[in-house]
A and B are shown apart, each in its own frame.
Chain A
């Protein structure tokens, strides 16, 4: 089977965050080419086997630096070939000390910020609940200490 990959895919697979940043920021390689017409979320460039960048970053040992970079570039954790990977991705990110915050001026969208506060990390129970109610979206974060997930 032909497996066509773009350089950005190879860089994500290689796991060097500097290379990913070089391609995306300095050389302006597109991370996403279109938006999903229904949800309006960015769809990442795909390999010919329809794997997305988030998929590749989660393959093998999760590459947290690359993953957080991709999410900060407005790719969605839900943007994976297999939707079951989404809660795992979220757990990986939150477990590594990142949390989602409401973006100023746009209450519907969230941005990923690095957090030094250990309390803000979502518990595994939240993640289990999230995995049960797929497909689910982050709806609200009341305070830095609680994470509310709604299906």
Chain B
């Protein structure tokens, strides 16, 4: 990890040669909270994606990926599917894997992140993390821009600009971004192995924190 930190500092100094030592120090300290040693493994619940199907359409001579719509408590619209067509089977399968929405957790009595029961006064909830489907309390969730989760995870008619995400997903997203920026292959793969990292969506702006 020490090596990674030096790399970040190097990049900083070549981009902004006038940046002082003190700001570098802050960067290093802040960056370290997303090192993989501090990964909240117990709080990360691997998301379970809805099943998707891929078939070849003779009529259009294209590969069609059929994805389930995400489930929302508030909506009473019938569960329907959305379809996307591709020229190759591989593309369609990769798309399905990247865009099939996660199953929402049901019946949890305690928060996945902090393990406190939901019924207590100070613990509002449960809320669903839109990225992994975990049920978390208010204090264990943050708001993400809707661009940080795939479009197919979102309610079609909703006009909200943010979605709720749990803290472990937020941590993972930042850690993955940092591993990529440091060029650390093993760390990036380990973040990806948790299954809760989106590869085709933007990251939050962590430029002020890490770079």
Contact = CB atoms under 8 A, between A and B. Distances in A.
A45 to B, nearest CB: 9
B202 A4 contact: yes
A124 B28 CA distance: 40
Interface of B: 11, 14-15, 90-91, 94, 98, 145, 147, 176-177, 179-185, 188-189, 199-203, 205, 207
Given A4-B147, A28-B90, A14 B181 contact: yes
B90 A16 contact: no
Interface of A: 2-7, 10-11, 13-16, 18-19, 22-23, 27-30, 48, 59-61
Contacts of A18: 185
B205 A19 contact: no
Given A3-B205, A19-B188, A28-B91, A14 B199 contact: no
A106 to B, nearest CB: 19
8 contacts: A4-B147, A4-B203, A6-B201, A6-B202, A7-B200, A10-B203, A13-B181, A19-B180
Contact of B199 (A2, A5, A13, A27): A27
B187 to A, nearest CB: 10
Given A4-B205, A7-B176, A60-B14, A15 B183 contact: yes
Contact of B205 (A2, A15, A22, A30): A2
Contact of A10 (B94, B177, B185, B200): B177
Nearest to B180: A10
A55 to B, nearest CB: 13
Contacts of A5: 177, 202-203
Contact of B200 (A3, A4, A19, A30): A30
Contact of B180 (A14, A28, A61): A14
Contacts of A13: 11, 180-181
A27 to B, nearest CB: 5
A3 B147 CA distance: 12
Given A28-B91, A29-B199, A7 B180 contact: yes
A7 B200 CA distance: 7
A110 B176 CA distance: 35
Contacts of A27: 94, 98, 199
Given A3-B205, A4-B205, A27-B94, A14 B200 contact: no
